Amino acid sequence: MSRKRALITGITGQDGAYLSHLLVEKGYEVHGLLRRSASADVVNSRLRWIGVADKVTLHDGNLVDQASIIRVLQIAKPSEIYNLAAQSFVKSSWQQPSLTGTVTGLGATHMLEALRTVCPEARFYQASSSEMFGTVQEPVQSETTPFYPRSPYAAAKLYAHWMTINYRESYGLHASCGILFNHESPLRGIEFVTRKISDGVARIKLGLQETLALGNLDAKRDWGHARDYVKVMWLMLQQDKPDDYVAATGRTASVREFCELAFAHVGLRAGDHVVVDQRFLRPAEVDVLLGDASKARDKLGWEAETSLEQLVAEMVDADLARLRTHEHL
Ligand code: NAP
Ligand code: F7E
Protein backbone atom coordinates (compact mmCIF):
# COMPACT_ATOMS: atom_id res chain seq x y z
CA MET A 1 0.00 0.00 0.00
CA SER A 2 1.31 3.48 -0.86
CA ARG A 3 2.13 5.87 1.98
CA LYS A 4 -0.44 8.48 2.99
CA ARG A 5 0.56 12.00 1.94
CA ALA A 6 -0.07 15.07 4.07
CA LEU A 7 0.50 18.75 3.36
CA ILE A 8 1.00 21.07 6.34
CA THR A 9 0.85 24.84 5.94
CA GLY A 10 2.64 26.54 8.84
CA ILE A 11 4.99 23.57 9.08
CA THR A 12 7.78 25.77 10.51
CA GLY A 13 5.62 26.86 13.48
CA GLN A 14 5.10 25.18 16.85
CA ASP A 15 2.18 22.95 15.82
CA GLY A 16 3.72 22.27 12.41
CA ALA A 17 6.75 20.71 14.11
CA TYR A 18 4.73 18.52 16.49
CA LEU A 19 2.30 17.48 13.75
CA SER A 20 5.16 16.63 11.37
CA HIS A 21 6.69 14.47 14.07
CA LEU A 22 3.38 12.66 14.67
CA LEU A 23 2.73 12.05 10.95
CA VAL A 24 6.30 10.91 10.22
CA GLU A 25 5.97 8.43 13.12
CA LYS A 26 2.73 7.16 11.55
CA GLY A 27 4.52 6.53 8.24
CA TYR A 28 3.15 9.50 6.29
CA GLU A 29 4.97 11.25 3.46
CA VAL A 30 4.94 14.78 4.89
CA HIS A 31 5.03 17.91 2.74
CA GLY A 32 5.11 21.48 4.01
CA LEU A 33 4.48 24.95 2.64
CA LEU A 34 7.50 27.16 3.36
CA ARG A 35 7.34 30.93 2.95
CA ARG A 36 10.53 32.52 1.73
CA SER A 37 12.67 34.16 4.41
CA ALA A 38 16.04 35.88 4.34
CA SER A 39 16.96 34.00 7.52
CA ALA A 40 17.35 30.56 6.01
CA ASP A 41 19.16 29.20 9.08
CA VAL A 42 16.18 29.74 11.40
CA VAL A 43 13.29 28.73 9.13
CA ASN A 44 13.34 25.08 10.03
CA SER A 45 14.91 25.29 13.49
CA ARG A 46 11.81 23.77 15.12
CA LEU A 47 11.80 20.89 12.63
CA ARG A 48 15.48 20.30 13.46
CA TRP A 49 14.82 20.48 17.24
CA ILE A 50 12.12 17.83 17.00
CA GLY A 51 14.21 15.64 14.68
CA VAL A 52 12.23 15.64 11.41
CA ALA A 53 13.96 18.32 9.29
CA ASP A 54 15.39 15.70 6.93
CA LYS A 55 12.17 13.64 6.86
CA VAL A 56 9.80 16.25 5.38
CA THR A 57 9.67 17.87 1.94
CA LEU A 58 9.35 21.66 1.95
CA HIS A 59 7.79 23.59 -0.94
CA ASP A 60 8.20 27.29 -1.61
CA GLY A 61 4.81 28.99 -1.27
CA ASN A 62 2.74 31.54 0.59
CA LEU A 63 -0.87 31.58 1.73
CA VAL A 64 -1.42 34.98 0.12
CA ASP A 65 -0.25 33.70 -3.29
CA GLN A 66 -2.94 31.32 -4.48
CA ALA A 67 -0.98 30.26 -7.57
CA SER A 68 1.78 28.99 -5.30
CA ILE A 69 -0.72 26.91 -3.31
CA ILE A 70 -2.20 25.37 -6.45
CA ARG A 71 1.29 24.47 -7.66
CA VAL A 72 2.21 22.87 -4.32
CA LEU A 73 -1.03 20.84 -4.22
CA GLN A 74 -0.36 19.60 -7.76
CA ILE A 75 3.15 18.46 -6.78
CA ALA A 76 2.48 17.08 -3.28
CA LYS A 77 -0.86 15.38 -4.14
CA PRO A 78 -1.91 15.22 -0.48
CA SER A 79 -4.81 13.16 0.85
CA GLU A 80 -4.80 15.25 4.04
CA ILE A 81 -4.23 19.01 4.32
CA TYR A 82 -3.62 20.73 7.65
CA ASN A 83 -4.02 24.51 7.36
CA LEU A 84 -1.95 25.77 10.30
CA ALA A 85 -0.36 28.83 8.68
CA ALA A 86 -1.41 32.16 10.16
CA GLN A 87 -0.30 35.46 11.62
CA SER A 88 -1.00 33.90 15.00
CA PHE A 89 0.15 36.50 17.54
CA VAL A 90 -2.98 38.26 18.84
CA LYS A 91 -1.17 41.43 20.00
CA SER A 92 0.38 41.97 16.54
CA SER A 93 -3.03 41.73 14.93
CA TRP A 94 -3.82 45.29 16.11
CA GLN A 95 -0.58 46.54 14.58
CA GLN A 96 -1.09 44.60 11.32
CA PRO A 97 -4.86 44.14 10.95
CA SER A 98 -4.93 43.94 7.14
CA LEU A 99 -2.04 41.48 6.98
CA THR A 100 -3.71 39.37 9.68
CA GLY A 101 -7.00 39.41 7.78
CA THR A 102 -5.27 38.47 4.54
CA VAL A 103 -3.15 35.60 5.89
CA THR A 104 -5.22 34.26 8.79
CA GLY A 105 -8.63 34.85 7.19
CA LEU A 106 -8.43 34.98 3.40
CA GLY A 107 -5.52 32.51 3.40
CA ALA A 108 -7.95 29.76 4.43
CA THR A 109 -10.21 30.62 1.50
CA HIS A 110 -7.21 30.41 -0.83
CA MET A 111 -6.51 26.93 0.54
CA LEU A 112 -10.14 25.76 0.28
CA GLU A 113 -10.55 27.08 -3.25
CA ALA A 114 -7.27 25.49 -4.36
CA LEU A 115 -8.24 22.18 -2.74
CA ARG A 116 -11.67 22.26 -4.43
CA THR A 117 -10.00 22.77 -7.80
CA VAL A 118 -6.96 20.49 -7.55
CA CYS A 119 -7.80 17.70 -5.09
CA PRO A 120 -11.45 17.80 -3.89
CA GLU A 121 -11.11 14.34 -2.33
CA ALA A 122 -8.43 15.54 0.11
CA ARG A 123 -9.43 15.97 3.75
CA PHE A 124 -8.96 19.45 5.22
CA TYR A 125 -8.20 20.65 8.75
CA GLN A 126 -8.66 24.33 9.65
CA ALA A 127 -6.86 25.65 12.74
CA SER A 128 -9.70 27.53 14.43
CA SER A 129 -9.15 29.09 17.83
CA SER A 130 -10.68 29.59 21.28
CA GLU A 131 -9.93 33.29 20.72
CA MET A 132 -13.15 33.29 18.64
CA PHE A 133 -15.08 33.00 21.95
CA GLY A 134 -13.48 36.29 23.08
CA THR A 135 -15.88 37.88 25.54
CA VAL A 136 -17.28 34.56 26.62
CA GLN A 137 -21.03 34.03 26.27
CA GLU A 138 -21.00 30.92 28.49
CA PRO A 139 -18.71 30.15 31.46
CA VAL A 140 -17.49 26.94 29.79
CA GLN A 141 -17.10 27.04 26.01
CA SER A 142 -18.05 24.20 23.68
CA GLU A 143 -18.87 23.76 19.98
CA THR A 144 -22.32 25.33 20.58
CA THR A 145 -21.15 28.45 22.43
CA PRO A 146 -21.74 31.69 20.46
CA PHE A 147 -18.63 33.56 19.33
CA TYR A 148 -17.63 37.14 20.29
CA PRO A 149 -14.18 37.92 18.80
CA ARG A 150 -12.11 40.59 20.58
CA SER A 151 -9.19 41.16 18.19
CA PRO A 152 -8.47 41.42 14.46
CA TYR A 153 -6.88 37.97 14.82
CA ALA A 154 -10.05 36.45 16.28
CA ALA A 155 -12.24 38.13 13.63
CA ALA A 156 -9.99 36.73 10.88
CA LYS A 157 -10.11 33.23 12.44
CA LEU A 158 -13.90 33.44 12.63
CA TYR A 159 -14.10 34.24 8.91
CA ALA A 160 -11.81 31.27 8.11
CA HIS A 161 -13.90 29.07 10.43
CA TRP A 162 -17.18 29.88 8.69
CA MET A 163 -15.62 29.64 5.22
CA THR A 164 -14.48 26.10 6.07
CA ILE A 165 -18.00 25.18 7.19
CA ASN A 166 -19.44 26.89 4.11
CA TYR A 167 -17.17 24.93 1.75
CA ARG A 168 -18.10 21.71 3.55
CA GLU A 169 -21.80 22.45 3.12
CA SER A 170 -21.58 23.94 -0.39
CA TYR A 171 -19.27 21.42 -2.04
CA GLY A 172 -19.39 18.36 0.23
CA LEU A 173 -15.71 18.66 1.13
CA HIS A 174 -14.27 16.67 4.04
CA ALA A 175 -13.38 19.90 5.86
CA SER A 176 -13.24 20.19 9.65
CA CYS A 177 -12.38 22.91 12.17
CA GLY A 178 -10.49 22.26 15.39
CA ILE A 179 -11.40 24.96 17.92
CA LEU A 180 -8.24 24.59 19.91
CA PHE A 181 -7.63 26.32 23.22
CA ASN A 182 -4.12 27.61 24.02
CA HIS A 183 -1.45 24.96 23.67
CA GLU A 184 2.17 25.52 24.48
CA SER A 185 5.51 23.71 24.46
CA PRO A 186 9.26 24.32 24.42
CA LEU A 187 8.71 25.21 20.73
CA ARG A 188 6.26 28.05 21.49
CA GLY A 189 7.28 31.40 19.95
CA ILE A 190 9.14 33.59 22.44
CA GLU A 191 6.53 36.40 22.14
CA PHE A 192 3.72 34.30 23.69
CA VAL A 193 3.31 34.67 27.43
CA THR A 194 4.09 31.10 28.52
CA ARG A 195 7.39 30.91 26.62
CA LYS A 196 8.25 34.47 27.65
CA ILE A 197 7.81 33.30 31.25
CA SER A 198 9.75 30.03 30.89
CA ASP A 199 12.60 31.83 29.12
CA GLY A 200 12.55 34.66 31.69
CA VAL A 201 12.56 32.26 34.64
CA ALA A 202 15.50 30.36 33.15
CA ARG A 203 17.45 33.60 32.57
CA ILE A 204 16.78 34.82 36.12
CA LYS A 205 17.80 31.44 37.55
CA LEU A 206 21.08 31.58 35.58
CA GLY A 207 21.75 35.18 36.66
CA LEU A 208 21.30 36.61 33.15
CA GLN A 209 18.49 39.01 34.12
CA GLU A 210 16.71 40.13 37.30
CA THR A 211 13.12 40.96 36.40
CA LEU A 212 10.40 39.72 34.07
CA ALA A 213 8.10 42.40 32.59
CA LEU A 214 4.58 41.24 31.71
CA GLY A 215 1.16 42.75 30.94
CA ASN A 216 -2.18 41.55 32.32
CA LEU A 217 -1.42 38.99 35.05
CA ASP A 218 -5.13 38.34 35.69
CA ALA A 219 -5.94 36.93 32.23
CA LYS A 220 -6.91 33.27 32.47
CA ARG A 221 -6.33 30.62 29.84
CA ASP A 222 -7.00 26.89 29.39
CA TRP A 223 -3.42 25.81 28.67
CA GLY A 224 -2.48 22.39 27.24
CA HIS A 225 0.55 20.84 25.51
CA ALA A 226 0.92 21.13 21.70
CA ARG A 227 2.08 17.50 21.53
CA ASP A 228 -1.38 16.39 22.76
CA TYR A 229 -3.29 18.84 20.55
CA VAL A 230 -1.82 17.75 17.20
CA LYS A 231 -3.27 14.29 17.91
CA VAL A 232 -6.80 15.70 17.83
CA MET A 233 -6.08 17.31 14.43
CA TRP A 234 -5.09 13.93 13.01
CA LEU A 235 -8.03 12.10 14.65
CA MET A 236 -10.49 14.57 13.12
CA LEU A 237 -9.29 13.73 9.60
CA GLN A 238 -9.58 9.98 10.24
CA GLN A 239 -13.38 10.20 10.78
CA ASP A 240 -15.84 9.19 8.06
CA LYS A 241 -17.66 12.50 8.43
CA PRO A 242 -16.13 15.97 8.78
CA ASP A 243 -17.11 17.95 11.88
CA ASP A 244 -15.92 20.66 14.27
CA TYR A 245 -14.43 19.92 17.69
CA VAL A 246 -13.21 21.83 20.73
CA ALA A 247 -9.88 20.69 22.22
CA ALA A 248 -9.12 21.89 25.76
CA THR A 249 -7.97 20.63 29.17
CA GLY A 250 -11.01 21.79 31.17
CA ARG A 251 -8.79 23.73 33.62
CA THR A 252 -8.11 27.45 33.55
CA ALA A 253 -5.27 29.31 35.24
CA SER A 254 -4.15 32.94 35.33
CA VAL A 255 -0.90 34.32 33.93
CA ARG A 256 0.03 34.99 37.58
CA GLU A 257 -0.49 31.31 38.49
CA PHE A 258 1.59 30.22 35.47
CA CYS A 259 4.38 32.50 36.73
CA GLU A 260 4.15 31.13 40.25
CA LEU A 261 4.45 27.54 39.00
CA ALA A 262 7.39 28.41 36.72
CA PHE A 263 9.38 30.30 39.37
CA ALA A 264 8.64 27.64 42.00
CA HIS A 265 10.02 24.99 39.64
CA VAL A 266 13.49 26.54 40.02
CA GLY A 267 13.11 27.41 43.71
CA LEU A 268 12.32 31.13 43.22
CA ARG A 269 9.31 33.34 44.05
CA ALA A 270 7.43 35.07 41.21
CA GLY A 271 6.62 38.04 43.48
CA ASP A 272 10.34 38.87 43.77
CA HIS A 273 10.86 39.21 40.00
CA VAL A 274 7.65 39.90 38.01
CA VAL A 275 6.88 43.53 37.15
CA VAL A 276 3.90 44.88 35.20
CA ASP A 277 4.67 46.92 32.09
CA GLN A 278 1.79 48.77 30.38
CA ARG A 279 3.38 48.14 26.96
CA PHE A 280 2.24 44.53 27.12
CA LEU A 281 -1.45 45.34 27.66
CA ARG A 282 -3.88 44.95 24.73
CA PRO A 283 -6.52 47.37 23.36
CA ALA A 284 -9.15 44.72 24.16
CA GLU A 285 -8.57 41.66 26.34
CA VAL A 286 -9.98 38.15 26.49
CA ASP A 287 -10.31 37.82 30.26
CA VAL A 288 -10.92 34.11 30.68
CA LEU A 289 -11.21 30.96 28.57
CA LEU A 290 -12.22 27.49 29.72
CA GLY A 291 -13.04 24.72 27.27
CA ASP A 292 -15.33 21.69 27.31
CA ALA A 293 -13.78 18.98 25.11
CA SER A 294 -16.35 16.28 25.88
CA LYS A 295 -17.36 15.95 22.20
CA ALA A 296 -13.74 15.18 21.23
CA ARG A 297 -13.51 12.73 24.14
CA ASP A 298 -16.76 10.93 23.28
CA LYS A 299 -16.44 10.85 19.48
CA LEU A 300 -12.66 10.78 18.93
CA GLY A 301 -11.42 9.23 22.16
CA TRP A 302 -9.16 12.27 22.64
CA GLU A 303 -8.12 13.82 25.95
CA ALA A 304 -5.39 16.24 26.96
CA GLU A 305 -2.69 14.14 28.62
CA THR A 306 -0.26 16.72 30.02
CA SER A 307 -0.99 18.60 33.24
CA LEU A 308 -0.24 22.31 33.62
CA GLU A 309 2.49 21.46 36.14
CA GLN A 310 4.16 19.03 33.66
CA LEU A 311 3.90 21.59 30.86
CA VAL A 312 5.50 24.35 32.94
CA ALA A 313 8.32 22.07 34.12
CA GLU A 314 9.09 20.87 30.57
CA MET A 315 9.17 24.42 29.21
CA VAL A 316 11.39 25.83 31.97
CA ASP A 317 13.77 22.85 31.78
CA ALA A 318 14.05 23.23 27.99
CA ASP A 319 14.90 26.93 28.31
CA LEU A 320 17.47 26.24 31.02
CA ALA A 321 19.11 23.64 28.74
CA ARG A 322 19.05 26.02 25.75
CA LEU A 323 20.61 28.89 27.66
CA ARG A 324 23.30 26.64 29.11
CA THR A 325 24.27 25.49 25.60
CA HIS A 326 23.78 28.97 24.00
CA GLU A 327 21.20 27.50 21.64
CA HIS A 328 18.64 30.00 20.29
CA LEU A 329 15.08 29.26 19.27
P1 NAP B 1 2.98 29.66 14.88
O2 NAP B 1 4.05 28.99 15.68
O3 NAP B 1 2.89 31.15 14.93
O4 NAP B 1 3.16 29.19 13.35
C5 NAP B 1 2.55 29.88 12.31
C6 NAP B 1 3.03 29.31 11.00
O7 NAP B 1 2.40 30.00 9.91
C8 NAP B 1 4.55 29.46 10.77
O9 NAP B 1 5.03 28.30 10.14
C10 NAP B 1 4.62 30.64 9.81
O11 NAP B 1 5.78 30.66 9.02
C12 NAP B 1 3.39 30.35 8.97
N13 NAP B 1 2.96 31.50 8.17
C14 NAP B 1 2.70 32.75 8.59
N15 NAP B 1 2.33 33.53 7.56
C16 NAP B 1 2.36 32.74 6.44
C17 NAP B 1 2.08 32.97 5.09
N18 NAP B 1 1.71 34.17 4.63
N19 NAP B 1 2.22 31.93 4.22
C20 NAP B 1 2.61 30.73 4.65
N21 NAP B 1 2.90 30.45 5.94
C22 NAP B 1 2.77 31.45 6.83
O23 NAP B 1 1.55 29.10 15.28
P24 NAP B 1 1.15 27.76 16.07
O25 NAP B 1 1.12 28.06 17.53
O26 NAP B 1 1.95 26.63 15.57
O27 NAP B 1 -0.38 27.60 15.64
C28 NAP B 1 -0.74 26.89 14.46
C29 NAP B 1 -2.10 27.37 13.99
O30 NAP B 1 -3.07 27.14 15.00
C31 NAP B 1 -2.20 28.86 13.70
O32 NAP B 1 -3.11 29.03 12.65
C33 NAP B 1 -2.76 29.46 14.97
O34 NAP B 1 -3.42 30.67 14.69
C35 NAP B 1 -3.71 28.36 15.37
N36 NAP B 1 -3.99 28.20 16.79
C37 NAP B 1 -2.96 28.14 17.68
C38 NAP B 1 -3.23 27.92 19.03
C39 NAP B 1 -2.12 27.81 20.04
O40 NAP B 1 -2.41 27.93 21.24
N41 NAP B 1 -0.88 27.53 19.61
C42 NAP B 1 -4.57 27.76 19.46
C43 NAP B 1 -5.58 27.82 18.51
C44 NAP B 1 -5.29 28.02 17.18
P45 NAP B 1 7.16 31.33 9.54
O46 NAP B 1 7.86 30.26 10.32
O47 NAP B 1 7.83 31.68 8.26
O48 NAP B 1 6.79 32.52 10.40
O1 F7E C 1 -1.43 35.72 25.66
C2 F7E C 1 -1.58 37.88 28.64
C3 F7E C 1 -2.27 38.35 27.37
O4 F7E C 1 -0.01 36.00 23.62
C5 F7E C 1 -2.11 35.02 26.68
C6 F7E C 1 -2.24 32.27 20.29
O7 F7E C 1 -1.67 30.99 20.07
O8 F7E C 1 -3.72 31.38 21.93
C9 F7E C 1 -2.73 32.36 21.72
O10 F7E C 1 -3.26 33.65 21.92
C11 F7E C 1 -2.59 36.00 27.74
C12 F7E C 1 -3.28 37.24 27.18
O13 F7E C 1 -1.69 34.09 23.79
C14 F7E C 1 1.80 39.17 28.57
O15 F7E C 1 -2.81 39.64 27.55
C16 F7E C 1 0.16 39.07 30.00
O17 F7E C 1 -4.42 37.51 27.95
O18 F7E C 1 0.34 33.99 25.12
P19 F7E C 1 -0.60 34.95 24.52
P20 F7E C 1 -3.19 34.40 23.33
O21 F7E C 1 -3.41 35.84 23.08
O22 F7E C 1 -4.10 33.73 24.30
C23 F7E C 1 -4.87 31.46 21.09
C24 F7E C 1 -5.78 30.30 21.41
C25 F7E C 1 -4.53 31.58 19.65
O26 F7E C 1 -5.27 31.13 18.78
C27 F7E C 1 -3.39 32.46 19.30
O28 F7E C 1 -2.90 32.17 17.99
O29 F7E C 1 -1.45 36.47 28.44
N30 F7E C 1 -0.26 38.46 28.86
N31 F7E C 1 1.41 39.53 29.84
C32 F7E C 1 0.75 38.49 27.95
N33 F7E C 1 0.83 38.01 26.71
C34 F7E C 1 2.00 38.18 26.04
N35 F7E C 1 2.13 37.66 24.79
N36 F7E C 1 3.06 38.86 26.60
C37 F7E C 1 3.00 39.38 27.86
O38 F7E C 1 3.96 39.97 28.35
Q: Which of 72, 10, 77, 69 is nearest to 44 (CA)?
A: 10
- CA 27 / ligand 2 centre spacing (Å): 34
- Would you tell me how many other CB atoms lie within 10 Å of the CB of residue 264? 16
CB 273 within 8 A of CB 210: yes
**Per-residue pLDDT tens digits for 86-108:** 999 999 999 999 999 999 999 99
Give me the catalytic one of 82, 125, 153, 245.
Answer: 153
For the chain, residues classed under CATH 3.40.50.720 are 5-183+223-247
Render 28-79 in DSSP notation, one character per residue: -EEEEEE---S-HHHHTHHHHHTT-GGGEEEEE--TT-HHHHHHHHHHH--S
Q: Residue 90: nearest ligand to its CA? A: 2
CB 10 within 8 A of CB 86: yes
Q: Which of 279, 282, 276, 278 is nearest to 213 (CA)?
A: 276
9: enclosing H helix or E strand: strand 5-9
Give me the catalytic one of 129, 176, 185, 198.
Answer: 129
Q: How far is CA 272 from the centre of its chain?
A: 31
For the chain, residues classed under CATH 3.90.25.10 are 188-221+252-288+306-325
Best residue among 12, 48, 88, 258 to mutate for probing ligand 1's pocket (most ligand atoms within 8 Å of CB) is 88
- CA 284 / ligand 2 centre spacing (Å): 12
> What is the pLDDT tens value at each position of the chain, 329 positions in all?
688 999 999 999 999 999 999 999 999 999 999 999 887 777 789 999 999 999 999 999 999 999 999 999 999 999 999 999 999 999 999 999 999 999 999 999 999 999 999 999 999 999 999 999 999 999 999 999 999 999 999 999 999 999 999 999 999 999 999 999 999 999 999 999 999 999 999 999 999 999 999 999 999 999 999 999 999 999 999 999 999 999 999 999 999 999 999 999 999 999 999 999 999 999 999 999 999 999 999 999 999 999 999 999 999 999 999 999 977 66
- Listed in sequence order, the residues at least 6 apart from 112 whose beta carbon sits closer than 8 Å to its beta carbon are 124, 163, 164, 167, 173, 175
Round to whole Å and give the CA distance between 5 and 149: 34
Question: 18 to each of 46, 292, 300, how far by Cα in Å?
Answer: 9, 23, 19
CB 123 within 8 A of CB 174: yes
Match domain 5-183+223-247 to its CATH number in 3.90.550.10, 3.40.50.880, 3.90.1280.10, 3.40.50.720.
3.40.50.720
Round to whole Å and give the CA distance between 94 and 75: 36
| CATH class entry, domain 188-221+252-288+306-325 | alpha beta
**Per-residue pLDDT tens digits for 140-187:** 999 999 999 999 999 999 999 999 999 999 999 999 999 999 999 999
Lining residues, ligand 1, CB within 6 Å: 9-10, 12-16, 33, 35, 37, 62-64, 84-88, 103, 127, 129, 180, 182-183, 189
Round to whole Å and give the CA distance between 121 and 173: 7
- Would you tell me how many other CB atoms lie within 10 Å of the CB of residue 104? 25
- Would you tell me how many other CB atoms lie within 10 Å of the CB of residue 183? 27
